[in-house]
Amino acid sequence: MLGHSRSANGVAGDSARPFPSPPPSLPNRAQINTEPSTPSVPVHHLRQRGEDPAILYISIAPLVFKTVKMTHQFPALSTEQKKELATIAQRIKINVENTEENRRSFRDLLFSVDDSISENIGGIIFFHETLYQKADNGVLFPKVIKDKGIVVGIKVDKGTAALAGTDGETTTQGLDGLSERCAQYKKDGCDFAKWRCVLKISDSCPSSLSIAENANVLARYASICQQNGLVPIVEPEILPDGDHDLQRCQYATEKVLAAVYKALSDHHVYLEGTLLKPNMVTPGHACTKKFTSDEVAMATVTALRRTVPAAVPGICFLSGGQSEEEASLNLNAMNQLPLHRPWKLSFSYGRALQASALAAWKGQAANKKAAQDAFVSRAKINSLASKGEYKPSGQADQASTQSLFTASYVY
């Protein structure tokens, strides 16, 4: 999900409900040009309801495991995609059978919260299955979401595949037929799309081959999305697997982002009509040295300042296996740094926004209210963090402080 706040809506937040109609203005950063130099490339605008828009998206990743018949001609998920989605059920143990109806029920729980959730969440990234499911009242989920003033996105990549000639590195599949799929998803109510490329850190990784390949794949995806009227979220994720320290991650992140924006330029992508979804700069999960939120924030913002053009309107971070509380604290620290930040820093969390809600729900209808309260509470916290206004109470519950790390995470 993408977040934002009332005074700073975003991709799980809404001082910026992104994309619908042209905004009056975006304070504290350059205006978005509504007339791209290439007329054939459509531009979507970020709309705000407050003075400090946050662009926040929430991926409903842990909730999609099985394909349903599409209402149009495009193929079902591949065997590899089904394997990837099937593993998600084991990520958060709540002793609930992984059935299509249980997945739909949990989504309905999230989507049926009070309309005020749009003050904290500006967009939701759907999987194919979710896009064609219905709420308990028979209304399609996309309409439920849009009626709350939240925009709908879709994950369009088809998972990773081995990159020959590398040490276990990958590229991302799905460019074949992407234009047709984007056109159909646009007709079905989507406003933006997301594509994830995965890189890793080791003695020999990320290699120059892997960096170049994934950067070009992301650029081709972004160009195709814009040609079909979808705003592309560009997601180059460096996995937290390994024992590398903060400086090693910062170095790798800078190399990857520099290559991504070079490729986006080469492919004539309109940067003002894109969003970036990167990893935070954090040490490897097995690193023995601990770093503070302030250190993570400084390393992350420094890497971004060195590589991400000011034309990019928003950066919405993935949580990368951090606990809910850790992801919120790190985002909050970034927005408190005394450094110039030309883009809005917000969140696009999946696991780090749903873990407490899942733990409270336990698959039982009687726990619906408790699960919704947990979800709304964490959304509000991240909305505050996107403005640097989160003040921890020091009483975080166990579910929110539990690490959500999974080795070689796929979804």
pLDDT for the residue numbered 351: 85
8 Å CB contact between 383 and 54: yes
| Catalytic positions, written as ranges | 235, 277
Summarised one tens digit per residue, pLDDT across range 351-362 is: 889 989 999 998
pLDDT for the residue numbered 33: 39
pLDDT at position 133 over 60: yes
pLDDT at position 247 over 70: yes
Identity of the amino acid at 141 = F
What percent of the chain is predicted at pLDDT more than 70?
A: 73
* Number of other CB atoms surrounding residue 406 within 10 Å: 19
Query: Alpha-carbon torsion 370, 371, 372, 378, what sign?
Result: positive
Which residue do the tokens 């794949």 mark?
Answer: 217
Q: Each residue of 359-381: b (16+ CB within 10 Å) or e? A: bbbeeeeebbebbbebbbbbbbb
Q: Each residue of 204-213: b (16+ CB within 10 Å) or e? A: ebbbeebbeb
d(CA 161, CA 330): 31
Cα atoms in the Cβ-side hemisphere of radius 13 Å centred on 225: 32
pLDDT for the residue numbered 23: 36
CA 130 to chain CA mean position, Å = 16
Summarised one tens digit per residue, pLDDT across range 49-96 is: 333 334 344 444 333 333 333 444 445 555 555 555 554 444 445 677
- pTM greater than 0.95 (yes/no): no
Mean pLDDT of 276-286: 96
8 Å CB contact between 371 and 358: yes
- Which uninterrupted H or E stretch holds 358? helix 351-361
- Which uninterrupted H or E stretch holds 72? none
8 Å CB contact between 309 and 338: no
The whole-chain average pLDDT of the chain stands at: 82
Residue-range domains of the chain with CATH:
56-386 (3.20.20.70)
d(CA 187, CA 201): 39
Summarised one tens digit per residue, pLDDT across range 161-208 is: 999 999 999 999 999 999 999 999 999 999 999 999 999 999 999 999
pLDDT band at 39 (very low <50, low <70, confident <90, very high): very low
